[in-house]
């Protein structure tokens, strides 16, 4: 286990790229604490896989340094860094048995037979592979194969970090729940530093203690799942986190209330004359339908998800989504919406502004 | 996967069947006819039963040719398969050099067999051939026309030059289908080069490799044109392989009965070996995943 | 136009791929095939399209038997998980290709392509080639091609599976609205229950080659006729526990008993499997509220906690069973904690020993 430090790290695939647009990864300083569970979240092409491959040593960064416990490893190749990686598609050695697959990384490092056996048995038990240990890996189901990949990553005790590159993409939704739970308990019991790359916000938020939200090669926000959900620093974070994402409405801000289409909306904090393009952001979960005392909306259509309904509405021609939980009253007389003041975020030019609480 | 059943489609095959009947089945039947009969000309045939077959099975001349044939195929496979894999592993994966390699590798495959024979026949002549004269100039006692060993070496080098590309290209295609993640995982697992080959590359290309071995085996087992052009089966009978012997027997000596029996047995041997390969391939696929 | 499957089955090399299936799909409907990987979704679609011939049964299109008609003669369009476009053509030509095959006039083609492109937000990239586009745009192009064809039957085989989460969300919201206008029969295969709910329409649940239930999406979700359907159509997975009912008491394996709510009074005594969804486990209630609330109280151990910001996902152990519970807000709990949970008794499903639904909450019947 190790603390991983990224110092002035940046990467461009263009050989002589000096323009900012050439950079797949823009300058970044960060410390990954020992034993932490991190998620790198972002859409395709946001640079998250590049960053992961730089940490694992599969890509040499064009700028900056990577340090493991203070030692510079920037120039070290993947095999010398003592890290483990799990890929999007299961990578197993087809001709080996499950047991041989799991012991392979240990055997290559010259561990004693008894030690290998004990460790393999422990890991197999934790991931639920003990019944098929002596089967050939070829011909197993995709989720069993992905468990093997996961197990090969976990099997080394001394590993500096475990990097997971969208490991649940090929798994059926119901099985994801089981694998996620196992991943969590592995992290808790083995205490490895884990970095999980994904485009799926649910996977990121549920796995990580700290989520790093990336967009166009830049880190937009880093924080707990709760802070990304409640107080996104950038409108893109608000849009990307949550399903559906945050609603954004153009508004002018006057102290402790916002004005939308001439109507005042109370805010949970005081804002001093923010300048630029101002918007308020409110999550569909924090919008409530009401018969009176709110902003008038026109309901366009309703998606019923069983445990909640997503109502697509329009507020003066801006679309607004409302999440109505199962059992919550909602009928055609409710044509107005109200926002929970404490849950409203204010953005100027796409960046969140901090209000003064009163 | 179930395909749509439509029996009318068989009619479309009819022209091909007729063509095959004329070009293959009828000649084959003539051969069968010769194999079981004796003739003294004038289209008069006498029933000989399995006589020719018995004679051929006991023929020392045939045993010697078969021995040479197996030895030749064995050496060819032992050199071309590992060499082909080695070349495929070391070819550039992408970019300009990959394309250039592919074109260069494909060139020998495009040359007609008799041209290959002629090229090497001239190339190796000690009076005008570049290789032959070069070897002689270096003091090597090389003459494929009167030294059996030299003749063998020449034929093997020629075949390797001509056909290794096929093995290499097939393996290369197999290797290209392996996702990068496998190599990255292996590096992280600290697998050495041999392990990567043994556990990733070999299993992933075993399918195409089997096809390559089958093709090379059949081709080399039936080889005729190149040795005929280069050595004509000599010196003596040292490079007289099965097909050359067959031609000598049938056309040279006009022993049509024995030659017919011989060619039928030859055909059955190749069929048997191909079937063995096919069975191995099918059972291997059934044991594997999709 | 309607598509009707009568006792259609498929057996390949002695293996049953599709069990005899009866289905009627009506014009202008969205029909979701929901099931896990290799449950037969793609096989069933291929049978519908005419790419494969059924081993038994008949396929009727508007009442006409088309079982032996080749796929080329049927008016079918298909969109795959992979983004399949002609790489050498521009987006415009890609969308126009089915129209050109029909021999439409240049002006007509131009008009149709442009309206479809507008609908799928492709207008600004009509001159570009598919490989220069993002995955989402490539799939939009493939969808547009399927749409302009004006096919009577449009088959979509997990079309969003290879897209990013957010893009998937966006397209998923658009698809039903786009297809509403087209008026064809749509068949959409997916592994995700949430996707089926978002698409609405009808859903057929598939399990091991068998259509276990077919009906309007919400009715199948709310009223699964069997354990298998309930399992297939629940994400998070439905929670199960064996119970015995005797008179007005429900007894659990650990000896706990709860009073049976009046609602279940008519249920015959016997052994049942009780099913309930993750959203119907309550954790936040205090003891006092719990007794007032129509709930069954059980004691569970926390196995895993996941927070999404708005909700907390819990994995709970009760005896041998592992359950998933979803509660709003953040819960301060640790793994290994013992917690009291309440089951919302109005939202229970009782499955009998054969796995058939015996009774479920009144709000859902």
The predicted structure's pLDDT at residue B41: 67
DSSP class per residue in B11-45: HHHHHHHHHHIIIIIHHHHHHHHHHHEEE-STT-E
The predicted structure's pLDDT at residue C361: 64
> Does residue A36 belong to the interface with chain C, where contact is any CB pair within 8 Å?
no
The more confident residue out of A243 and A358 is A243
Residue A254 to chain B, least CA–CA distance (Å): 54
pLDDT of B17 higher than 50: yes
pLDDT of C363 higher than 70: no
pLDDT in tens, B221-261: 888 888 888 887 778 788 888 888 888 877 777 777 778 88
Query: Tokens standing for C62?
Result: 């508007």
Mean pLDDT of C329-358: 83
Query: Tokens standing for C219?
Result: 């009715």
CATH number corresponding to C2-225: 3.40.50.300
Contact A312, A319 (CB under 8 A): yes
The predicted structure's pLDDT at residue A1: 65
Mean pLDDT of B112-128: 86
Rounded CA-CA distance C97/C113 in Å is: 10
> Does residue B2 belong to the interface with chain C, where contact is any CB pair within 8 Å?
yes
pLDDT of C321 higher than 50: yes
Rounded CA-CA distance A358/C3 in Å is: 64
Mean pLDDT of A217-222: 91
The predicted structure's pLDDT at residue B1: 42
ipTM of the complex: 0.82
- Answer whether CATH 2.40.50.140 is correct for domain A247-353: yes
**If you average pLDDT over every residue of chain C, what do you get?**
85
Q: Which of residues 200-259 of A touch C (CB under 8 A)?
A: 200-202, 205-207, 225-226, 228-230, 239-245
Contacts of A144 in chain C (CB under 8 A): none
0.95 surpassed by pTM? no
Same domain, B25 and B96: no
Asked whether the beta carbons of residue B187 and residue A149 sit closer than 8 angstroms, the reply is: no
pLDDT > 90 fraction of chain B, expressed in percent and rounded? 12
Q: Considering the domain boundaries, does residue B172 fall inside one?
A: yes
pLDDT of A190 higher than 90: no
H/E/C letters for each residue in C207-258?
A: ECCEEEEEEEHHHHHHCCCEHHHHHHCCCCCCEEEEEEEECCEEEECCCCEE
Q: Cβ atoms within 10 A of the Cβ of C97, count?
A: 17
Asked whether the beta carbons of residue C12 and residue B2 sit closer than 8 angstroms, the reply is: yes
Smallest Cβ–Cβ distance between A240 and the set C37, C166, C236 belongs to C166
Contacts of A305 in chain C (CB under 8 A): 194, 197-198
Beta bridge partner(s), residue C300: C339
> Does residue A330 belong to the interface with chain B, where contact is any CB pair within 8 Å?
no
Asked whether the beta carbons of residue C165 and residue A199 sit closer than 8 angstroms, the reply is: yes
**If you average pLDDT over every residue of chain A, what do you get?**
88
pLDDT in tens, A271-302: 887 788 999 999 999 999 988 888 999 998 88
Q: Which of residues 166-185 of B touch A (CB under 8 A)?
A: 179, 181-182, 184-185
Same domain, B99 and B34: no
The predicted structure's pLDDT at residue B288: 44
Asked whether the beta carbons of residue A177 and residue C231 sit closer than 8 angstroms, the reply is: no
Rounded CA-CA distance B59/B259 in Å is: 12
Mutate which of C9, C13, C47, C52 to test chain B, going by most B C-beta atoms within 10 A? C52
Contact B103, B184 (CB under 8 A): no
> Does residue A181 belong to the interface with chain C, where contact is any CB pair within 8 Å?
yes
* Pairing of β C202-207 and β C30-34: parallel
At CA C230, angle to CA C224 and CA C234, rounded to 5? 120
pLDDT in tens, A161-170: 899 998 888 8
pLDDT of C292 higher than 80: no
Q: Which chains touch A (3 or more CB pairs under 8 A)?
A: B, C
pLDDT of C293 higher than 60: no
Q: Considering the domain boundaries, does residue B182 fall inside one?
A: yes
> Does residue C67 belong to the interface with chain B, where contact is any CB pair within 8 Å?
no
Beta bridge partner(s), residue A266: A257
CATH number corresponding to A4-233: 3.40.50.300
Cβ-based burial of B39 (10 A; exposed 0-12, middle 13-18, buried ≥19): middle
**C227 φ/ψ angles, rounded to the nearest 5 degrees:** -55, -40
Rounded CA-CA distance B229/A229 in Å is: 80
Same domain, B12 and B37: yes
Asked whether the beta carbons of residue A177 and residue C236 sit closer than 8 angstroms, the reply is: yes
**A308 φ/ψ angles, rounded to the nearest 5 degrees:** -160, 160
Cβ-based burial of C259 (10 A; exposed 0-12, middle 13-18, buried ≥19): exposed
Residue A49 to chain B, least CA–CA distance (Å): 13
Smallest Cβ–Cβ distance between B188 and the set A79, A139, A140 belongs to A79
Closest residue on chain C to A285 (Cα): C310
Query: Tokens standing for C47?
Result: 């049978």
Sign of CA dihedral A348, A352, A356, A358: positive
pLDDT in tens, C167-187: 888 888 888 777 777 788 999
The predicted structure's pLDDT at residue A171: 86
> Does residue B286 belong to the interface with chain C, where contact is any CB pair within 8 Å?
no
pLDDT in tens, A194-219: 999 999 988 999 889 899 999 988 89
Mutate which of B174, B177, B190 to test chain A, going by most A C-beta atoms within 10 A? B190
> Does residue B7 belong to the interface with chain C, where contact is any CB pair within 8 Å?
no
Closest residue on chain C to B5 (Cα): C53
Domain count, chain B: 2
Mean pLDDT of A126-148: 88
The predicted structure's pLDDT at residue B205: 87
Rounded CA-CA distance B7/C107 in Å is: 43
Same domain, B143 and B187: yes
Same domain, B94 and B4: no
Mutate which of C221, C234, C309, C335 to test chain A, going by most A C-beta atoms within 10 A? C309
pLDDT in tens, C251-273: 887 777 777 777 777 788 888 99
The predicted structure's pLDDT at residue C365: 35
Closest residue on chain B to C11 (Cα): B2
Beta bridge partner(s), residue A97: A136
Same domain, B151 and B231: yes
Contacts of A312 in chain C (CB under 8 A): 173
Q: Which domain holds residue B13?
A: 1-49
Mean pLDDT of A134-154: 88
Same domain, B13 and B84: no
pLDDT of C286 higher than 60: no
**C117 φ/ψ angles, rounded to the nearest 5 degrees:** -60, -40
Element (H, E) at A194: strand A194-198
Closest residue on chain C to B2 (Cα): C52
Same domain, B208 and B116: yes
Same domain, B6 and B148: no
Element (H, E) at B276: helix B256-287
Q: Considering the domain boundaries, does residue B19 fall inside one?
A: yes
Smallest Cβ–Cβ distance between B189 and the set A87, A95, A152 belongs to A152
Query: Could you tell me the maximum CA-CA distance found in chain C, to the nearest angstrom?
Result: 77
Contacts of C315 in chain A (CB under 8 A): 177, 181
Rounded CA-CA distance A98/A111 in Å is: 18
DSSP class of residue A192 equals -
Same domain, B4 and B94: no
Residue B214 to chain A, least CA–CA distance (Å): 22
- In this structure, of A50-64, A182-196, A213-227, B132-146, the range with the lowest mean pLDDT score is B132-146
Same domain, B236 and B257: yes
Same domain, B117 and B257: yes
- In total, the C-beta contacts within 8 angstroms joining chain B to chain C are 14
Asked whether the beta carbons of residue A304 and residue C169 sit closer than 8 angstroms, the reply is: no
Q: Which chains touch C (3 or more CB pairs under 8 A)?
A: A, B
Element (H, E) at C361: none
Contacts of C234 in chain A (CB under 8 A): 174
pLDDT of B157 higher than 60: yes
Mutate which of C82, C177, C200, C310 to test chain A, going by most A C-beta atoms within 10 A? C310
Contact B73, B220 (CB under 8 A): yes
Contacts of C139 in chain A (CB under 8 A): none
**Rounded to the nearest 10 degrees, what angle do helices B60-90 and B148-176 cross at?**
40
pLDDT of C91 higher than 60: yes
pLDDT of C346 higher than 80: no
The predicted structure's pLDDT at residue A276: 86
pLDDT in tens, C108-165: 899 989 988 888 888 888 998 888 888 888 888 998 888 888 888 999 999 888 888 8
Residue ranges in A66-191 assigned as alpha helix (H): 98-108, 113-127, 142-154, 173-190
CATH number corresponding to C239-364: 2.40.50.140
> Does residue C55 belong to the interface with chain B, where contact is any CB pair within 8 Å?
yes
Rounded CA-CA distance B155/A265 in Å is: 92
Kindly list the domain boundaries of chain C, sorted by start residue. Answer: 2-225, 239-364
């Amino acid at each position: 286990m190790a603390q991983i430090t990224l110092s002035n790290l940046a990467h461009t695939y263009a050989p002589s790229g000096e323009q900012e647009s050439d950079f797949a990864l823009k300058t970044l300083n960060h410390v990954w604490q020992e034993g932490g569970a991190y998620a790198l979240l972002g859409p395709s092409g946001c640079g998250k896989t590049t960053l992961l491959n730089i940490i694992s040593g599969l890509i040499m960064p064009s700028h900056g340094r990577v340090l493991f416990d203070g030692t510079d490893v920037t120039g070290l190749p993947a095999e010398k860094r003592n890290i483990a990686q799990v890929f999007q598609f299961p990578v197993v050695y087809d001709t080996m048995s499950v047991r041989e697959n799991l012991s392979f990384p240990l055997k290559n490092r010259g561990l004693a037979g008894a030690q290998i056996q004990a460790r393999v048995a422990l890991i197999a038990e934790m991931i639920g592979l003990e019944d098929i240990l002596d089967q050939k890996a070829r011909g197993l189901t995709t989720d069993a194969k992905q468990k093997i990949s996961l197990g090969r990553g976990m099997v080394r005790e001394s590993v500096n970090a475990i990097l997971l590159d969208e490991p649940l993409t090929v798994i059926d939704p119901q099985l994801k729940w089981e694998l996620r739970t196992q991943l969590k308990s592995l992290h808790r019991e083995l205490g490895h530093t884990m970095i999980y790359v994904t485009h799926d916000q649910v996977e990121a938020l549920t796995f990580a203690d700290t989520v790093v939200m990336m967009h166009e090669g830049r880190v937009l926000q880093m924080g707990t799942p709760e802070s990304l959900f409640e107080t996104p620093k950038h409108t893109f974070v608000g849009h990307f986190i949550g399903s559906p994402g945050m609603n954004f409405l153009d508004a002018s801000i006057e102290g402790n209330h916002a004005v939308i289409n001439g109507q005042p909306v109370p805010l949970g904090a005081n804002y001093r004359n923010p300048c630029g393009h101002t918007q308020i952001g409110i999550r569909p979960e924090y919008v409530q339908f009401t018969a009176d005392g709110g902003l008038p909306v026109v309901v366009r259509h309703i998606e019923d998800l069983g445990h909640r309904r997503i109502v697509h509405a329009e507020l003066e021609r801006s679309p607004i989504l409302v999440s109505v939980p199962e059992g919550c009253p909602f009928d055609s007389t409710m044509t107005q919406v109200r926002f929970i003041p404490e849950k409203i975020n204010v953005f100027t030019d796409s960046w969140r502004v901090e209000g003064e609480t009163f | 996967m179930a395909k749509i059943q439509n029996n009318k489609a068989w009619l479309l095959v009819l022209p091909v069947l007729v063509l095959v009947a004329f070009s293959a089945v009828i000649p084959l039947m003539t051969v069968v006819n010769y194999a079981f009969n004796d003739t003294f000309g004038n289209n008069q045939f006498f029933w000989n039963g399995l006589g020719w077959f018995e004679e051929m099975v006991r023929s020392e001349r045939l045993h010697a040719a078969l021995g040479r044939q197996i030895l030749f195929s064995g050496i060819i496979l032992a050199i071309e398969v590992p060499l082909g894999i080695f070349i495929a592993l070391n070819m550039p994966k992408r970019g300009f050099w990959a394309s250039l390699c592919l074109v260069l590798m494909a060139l020998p495959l495009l040359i007609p067999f008799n041209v290959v024979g002629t090229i090497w026949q001239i190339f190796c002549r000690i009076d005008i051939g570049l290789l032959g004269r070069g070897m002689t100039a270096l003091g090597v006692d090389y003459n494929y026309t009167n030294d059996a060993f030299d003749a063998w070496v020449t034929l093997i080098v020629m075949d390797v030059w001509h056909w290794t590309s096929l093995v290499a290209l097939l393996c290369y295609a197999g290797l290209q289908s392996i996702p990068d993640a496998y190599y990255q995982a292996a590096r992280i697992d600290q697998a050495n080069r041999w392990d990567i080959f043994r556990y990733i590359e070999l299993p992933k290309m075993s399918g195409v490799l089997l096809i390559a071995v089958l093709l090379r085996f059949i081709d080399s087992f039936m080889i005729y044109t190149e040795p005929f052009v280069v050595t004509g089966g000599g010196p003596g009978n040292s490079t007289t392989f099965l097909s050359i012997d067959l031609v000598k027997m049938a056309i040279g000596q006009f022993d049509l009965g024995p030659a017919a029996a011989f060619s039928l047995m030859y055909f059955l041997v190749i069929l048997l070996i191909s079937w063995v390969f096919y069975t191995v391939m099918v059972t291997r696929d059934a044991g594997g995943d999709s | 136009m309607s598509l009707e499957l009568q006792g259609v089955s498929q057996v390949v090399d002695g293996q049953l791929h599709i069990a005899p299936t009866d289905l009627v799909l009506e014009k202008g409907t969205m029909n979701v095939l929901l099931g896990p990987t290799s449950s037969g979704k793609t096989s069933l679609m291929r049978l519908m399209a005419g790419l494969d011939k059924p081993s038994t049964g008949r396929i009727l299109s508007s009442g006409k038997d088309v079982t032996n008609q080749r796929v080329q003669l049927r008016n079918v369009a298909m969109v795959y998980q992979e983004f399949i476009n002609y790489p050498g053509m521009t987006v415009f030509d890609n969308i126009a290709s089915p129209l050109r095959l029909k021999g439409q006039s240049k002006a007509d083609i131009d008009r149709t392509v442009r309206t479809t492109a507008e609908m799928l937000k492709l207008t600004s990239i009509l001159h570009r080639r598919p490989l220069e586009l993002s995955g989402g745009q490539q799939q939009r192009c493939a969808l547009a091609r399927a749409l302009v064809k004006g096919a009577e039957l449009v088959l979509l085989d997990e079309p969003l599976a290879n897209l990013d989460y957010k893009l998937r969300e966006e397209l998923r919201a658009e698809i039903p609205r786009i297809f509403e206008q087209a008026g064809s029969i749509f068949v959409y295969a997916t592994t995700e229950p949430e996707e089926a709910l978002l698409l609405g329409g009808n859903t057929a649940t598939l399990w091991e080659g068998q259509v276990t239930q077919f009906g309007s999406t919400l009715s199948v979700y709310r009223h699964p006729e069997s354990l298998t359907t309930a399992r297939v159509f629940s994400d998070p997975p439905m929670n199960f526990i064996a119970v015995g009912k005797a008179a007005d008491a429900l007894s659990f394996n650990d000896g706990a008993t709860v009073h049976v709510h009046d609602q279940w009074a008519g249920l015959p005594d016997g052994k049942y499997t009780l099913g309930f969804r993750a959203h119907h486990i309550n954790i936040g209630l205090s003891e006092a509220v719990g007794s007032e609330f129509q709930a069954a109280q059980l004691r569970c151990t926390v196995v895993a906690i996941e927070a999404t910001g708005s909700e907390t996902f819990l994995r709970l152990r009760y005896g041998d069973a592992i359950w998933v519970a979803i509660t709003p807000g953040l819960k301060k709990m640790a793994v290994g904690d013992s917690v009291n949970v309440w089951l919302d008794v109005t939202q229970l499903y009782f499955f009998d020993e054969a796995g058939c639904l015996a009774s479920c909450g009144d709000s859902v019947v």
